[in-house]
Amino acid sequence: MKKTIKTFFNMVAGAAFLSMSATALAEPLKIGYSDWPGWVAWQIAIEKQWFKKEGVDVKFDWFDYVPSMDAFAAGKLDAVCMTNGDALVTGATGGKSVMILINDYSNGNDMVVGGPGINSLKDLKGKKIGVEIGFVDHLLLLNGLKKAGMTDKDVTLVNVPTNETPQVLASGQVSAIAAWQPNSGVALKMVPGSKPIYTSADEPGLIYDVLAVSPQSLALHRDEWKKVIKVWYKVVNYINDPKTHEDAIRIMASRVGVSPKEYQSFVDGTKILTLKEDKVHFKKGDGFSSIYGSSAIVDKFNVDNKVYAKPQDIDSYIDPSLIEEMK
167-199 pLDDT per residue, tens: 999 999 999 999 988 899 999 999 999 999 999
The pLDDT tens digits for 14-55 are 433 344 444 445 799 999 999 899 999 999 999 999 999 999
pLDDT at 124 over 70: yes
| pLDDT tier, 312 (very low <50, low <70, confident <90, very high otherwise) | very high
pLDDT for residue 9 is more than 80 = no
Over residues 87-112, the mean pLDDT reads: 96
136 versus 117: the higher-pLDDT residue is 117
110-202 matches 29-105+205-325 in CATH topology: yes
pLDDT digits (tens, 9 = 90+) for 258-293: 999 999 999 999 999 999 999 999 999 999 999 999
What distance in Å separates the CA atoms of residue 30 and residue 51, rounded to the nearest whole number? Answer: 13
Q: How high is the mean pLDDT of the chain?
A: 91
Distance CA 83, CA 186 (A): 22
Pick the CATH number of 29-105+205-325 from 3.30.930.10, 2.40.420.20, 1.10.3720.10, 3.40.190.10: 3.40.190.10
What distance in Å separates the CA atoms of residue 312 and residue 88, rounded to the nearest whole number?
7
State the distance between the two ends of the chain, measured CA to CA, in whole angstroms: 52
* Residue 30 confidence (pLDDT): 98
231 or 36, greater pLDDT: 231
Region 214-221: mean pLDDT is: 98
What's the pLDDT band for 123 if we cut at 50, 70, 90? very high
Query: What's the confidence (pLDDT) of residue 18?
Result: 40
* Rounded-to-integer distance, Cα 74 and Cα 281, Å: 30
Residue 106: C-alpha distances to residues 36, 75, 109 (Å): 10, 28, 6
- pLDDT for 6: 31
pLDDT in the model for residue 11: 36
Distance, CA of 276 to chain centre? 19
- Cα three-residue angle 284-104-69, rounded to 5 degrees: 95
Identify the pLDDT of residue 25: 53
- Altogether, the residues listed in the chain come to a count of 327
Share of the chain above pLDDT 70, in %: 92
E-strand ranges in the chain read 29-33, 58-62, 79-83, 98-106, 111-114, 128-131, 156-159, 176-179, 195-199, 208-213, 270-272
pLDDT value at residue 134: 86
Bond before 320 cis per omega within 30 degrees: no
Reported for 310-313, long-range contacts at CB under 8 A and 24+ positions apart, including other chains, are 310/92, 312/88, 312/91, 312/92
22 burial via Cβ count (<10 Å: 0-12, 13-18, 19+): exposed
> What are the boundaries of each domain within the chain?
29-105+205-325, 110-202
CA dist 196 and 191 (Å) reads: 12
Closest by alpha carbon to 38, among 224, 284, 239, 199? 239
**Measured distance CA(105)–CA(117) in Å, rounded:** 30
- H or E stretch including 281? helix 275-281
What pLDDT is attached to residue 278?
Answer: 97
Phi, psi of 128 (to 5 degrees): -95, 140
What is the per-residue burial (b if ≥16 Cβ within 10 Å, else e) of 74-83?
Answer: eeebbbbbbb
CATH of 110-202 among 3.40.190.10, 3.20.20.370, 3.90.76.10, 1.10.20.60:
3.40.190.10
pLDDT band at 147 (very low <50, low <70, confident <90, very high): very high
User: 217: part of which helix (H) or strand (E)?
Assistant: helix 215-220
